Amino acid sequence: MENKIGALKNKQVYFTDEVSELDTFIEKNKYTKVVVLGDNNTIENCLPYLNLFSSYTANADIIEIDAGEGSKNIDICIGIWNMMMDYEMDRKSLLLNVGGGMVSDIGAFAASTYMRGIDFINIPTSLLAMVDASHGGKNGIDVNDYKNMIGGFNNPTAVFIFPTLLDTLPAEEKKYGFAEIIKHGLIANEKHYDAAIAYLQEKENSDLNELIVDSILIKIGIVAQDPFDKNERKLLNYGHSLGHAIESSFLALEKPISHGLAVLAGMIIENKIAVALGLLTENTATKIAQDIQSIYTLPKIKADTIAPILHYLLLDKKNVDASIQLAIITKIGEGKVAQTCSTAMAAAAIQSYSEEIK
Ligand SMILES: NC(=O)c1ccc[n+]([C@@H]2O[C@H](COP(=O)([O-])OP(=O)(O)OC[C@H]3O[C@@H](n4cnc5c(N)ncnc54)[C@H](O)[C@@H]3O)[C@@H](O)[C@H]2O)c1
Ligand SMILES: [Zn+2]
């Protein structure tokens, strides 16, 4: 474990419970000002812990936004920029994003565009953000119901992961965060997948910290091969073409579901497509669906939601020339990017999911 934590540190990812390491880092970089961005839950539950040990966060100005995906939009972003100006942040100021993926996505976007870009540090507070959203440099906001339509690539100056912050994360959110750990296992490492499922089924006392560290190593390893998402990195989008389309269609109905649940449903549907394409065995697809269903109550897709999901799917950023492009798995621990699938094939897979998950 020490070696793995050391490997992360070399990539400016600090996995520690020593909040003082954050102060040492900030001290070294001589920022003119430090501002904390968080949502109402993370400001209430996580900031007080950081403030116990960090004089920088304790003395920082605070920008608080409402919790929930509904805040990841341009209006809230304008509010953030206005407060950054009110706080007189300059190009040598630092933004600390203290929150889940919603906060790090919009915070990284706001910091990357403010005065053509200032430094920001992600301090993820949700499991999903610890293993996924806070790494890899993608930032962005949603437009209406369309997920991550506007945004860019820009790496955080550092990521500080304090696992203690998970203590206040609602149990359901923690469980949803596991969706990305499961995804990392399915695309890259069967053992990681088995360990995640065993942890969730409470069969084995796998160490959560080790699962987190392994999951980050998988993510940043894939990102390093292709930082700008042209090829190998698309593997991380496994489950997400369908997942985002499902998330958007529920958002449009004003019944938002968690990103993690949408991705789990997305993986099951994309596996059905991979089976139809002859790239995955039916047995493996069934095993994965059973594993997931033994742990999660999956979102139900009613017959009249299939058309809206297809509509959002066709707008997916990974599509080329209006043909649906998917990252799929060929077995547990291995995947393939840029597989073309027809609209009819996608419709049939969603239909089949909708009949199975009632
Ligand atoms: N940039 C990327 O590479 C990337 C990758 C994956 C996901 N994402 C994005 O991340 C977002 C989802 O992230 P999320 O699941 O963390 O959602 P989130 O940020 O909305 O957090 C979920 C909920 O948990 C609360 N919360 C978070 N940490 C807490 C804590 N320690 N104690 C108490 N409450 C806490 C939040 O206030 C919120 O209500 C989506 O917008 C998704 O698009 C981005
Ligand atoms: Zn995701």
Q: Which residues contact 21 (CB under 8 A, 6 or more apart)?
A: 14, 160
Residue 234 has pLDDT above 70, yes or no: yes
Average pLDDT over residues 232-243: 95
Instruction: Tell me the backbone φ, ψ of residue 322, rounded to 5 degrees.
Output: 65, 10
Q: Which of 134, 168, 202 is the last residue before a domain boundary?
A: 168
Q: Residue 49: which CATH number?
A: 3.40.50.1970
What is the percent of the chain with per-residue pLDDT over 70, rounded to a whole number? Answer: 98
In the prediction, which pLDDT does 345 show? 94
Residue 253 has pLDDT above 90, yes or no: no
Q: What is the pLDDT of residues 145-173, one digit of tens each?
A: 788 899 999 999 999 999 999 999 999 99
Write the residue with the smallest CA distance to atom 2 of ligand 1: 133
Q: What is the pLDDT of residues 172-230, one digit of tens each?
A: 999 999 999 999 999 999 999 999 999 999 886 779 999 999 999 999 999 999 898 88
pLDDT level of residue 252 (50, 70, 90 thresholds): confident
In the prediction, which pLDDT does 322 show? 67
In the prediction, which pLDDT does 57 show? 97
302 with 342, same domain? yes
Mean confidence (pLDDT) of the chain: 95
Q: Answer whether 246 contacts ligand 1 (Cβ < 6 A).
A: no
Write the residue with the smallest CA distance to atom 13 of ligand 1: 101
Q: Answer whether 270 contacts ligand 1 (Cβ < 6 A).
A: no
Q: Residue 294: which CATH number?
A: 1.20.1090.10
How many Å lie between the centroid of ligand 1 and the Cα of residue 279?
32
Q: In terms of residue numbers, what domain contains 286?
A: 171-356
232 with 272, same domain? yes
Instruction: Tell me the backbone φ, ψ of residue 297, rounded to 5 degrees.
Output: -95, 110
- What atom of ligand 1 comes closest to residue 41's alpha carbon? 37
Q: Which of 114, 141, 168 is the last residue before a domain boundary?
A: 168
Residue 316 has pLDDT above 80, yes or no: no
Of residues 251 and 331, which shows the higher confidence score? 331
How many Å lie between the centroid of ligand 2 and the Cα of residue 177?
9
Q: Which residues contact 59 (CB under 8 A, 6 or more apart)?
A: 34
222 with 106, same domain? no
Average pLDDT over residues 274-298: 97
148 with 180, same domain? no
The H or E element spanning position 56 is: helix 55-58
Mutate to test the pocket of ligand 1, among 147, 154, 259 (most ligand atoms within 8 A of CB): 259
36 with 104, same domain? yes
Q: Answer whether 168 contacts ligand 1 (Cβ < 6 A).
A: yes
Cα–Cα–Cα angle for 195, 201, 203, rounded to 5 degrees: 70
In the prediction, which pLDDT does 205 show? 72
For the four alpha carbons of 27, 28, 30 and 36, in that order, the dihedral sign comes to negative
110 with 223, same domain? no
In the prediction, which pLDDT does 315 show? 82
Of residues 68 and 256, which shows the higher confidence score? 68
Residue 317 has pLDDT above 70, yes or no: no
Integer angstrom CA distances of residue 75 from 69, 106, 141: 13, 11, 10
Give the number of domains in the chain: 2
Residue 320 has pLDDT above 70, yes or no: no
Residue 321 has pLDDT above 70, yes or no: no
Average pLDDT over residues 281-299: 97
How many Å lie between the centroid of ligand 2 and the Cα of residue 90?
32
161 with 196, same domain? no
Q: Answer whether 103 contacts ligand 1 (Cβ < 6 A).
A: yes
pLDDT level of residue 31 (50, 70, 90 thresholds): very high
In the prediction, which pLDDT does 326 show? 94
Average pLDDT over residues 120-140: 97
82 with 143, same domain? yes
Average pLDDT over residues 302-312: 92
The mean-pLDDT minimum among 27-36, 181-190, 308-317, 337-346 falls in 308-317
Model pTM?
0.93
180 with 145, same domain? no
In the prediction, which pLDDT does 146 show? 82
Residue 352 has pLDDT above 70, yes or no: yes
Instruction: Tell me the backbone φ, ψ of residue 338, rounded to 5 degrees.
Output: 55, 50
In the prediction, which pLDDT does 4 show? 95
The mean-pLDDT minimum among 187-191, 254-258, 326-330 falls in 254-258
- Copy the structure tokens of residue 282: 């039916």
CA dist., res. 309 & res. 275, Å (int):
20
Write the residue with the smallest CA distance to atom 12 of ligand 1: 101
Integer angstrom CA distances of residue 321 from 50, 317, 325, 327, 341: 48, 11, 10, 17, 13
Q: Which of 144, 168, 192 is the last residue before a domain boundary?
A: 168
Average pLDDT over residues 24-44: 97
In the prediction, which pLDDT does 318 show? 67
- What atom of ligand 1 comes closest to residue 108's alpha carbon? 1
Q: What is the pLDDT of residues 76-129, one digit of tens each?
A: 999 999 999 999 999 999 999 999 999 999 999 999 999 999 999 999 999 999
DSSP notation for 115-161: GG--EEEEEE-SHHIIIIITSSSEEEEEETTEEEEEEEE---SEEEE
Average pLDDT over residues 230-255: 92
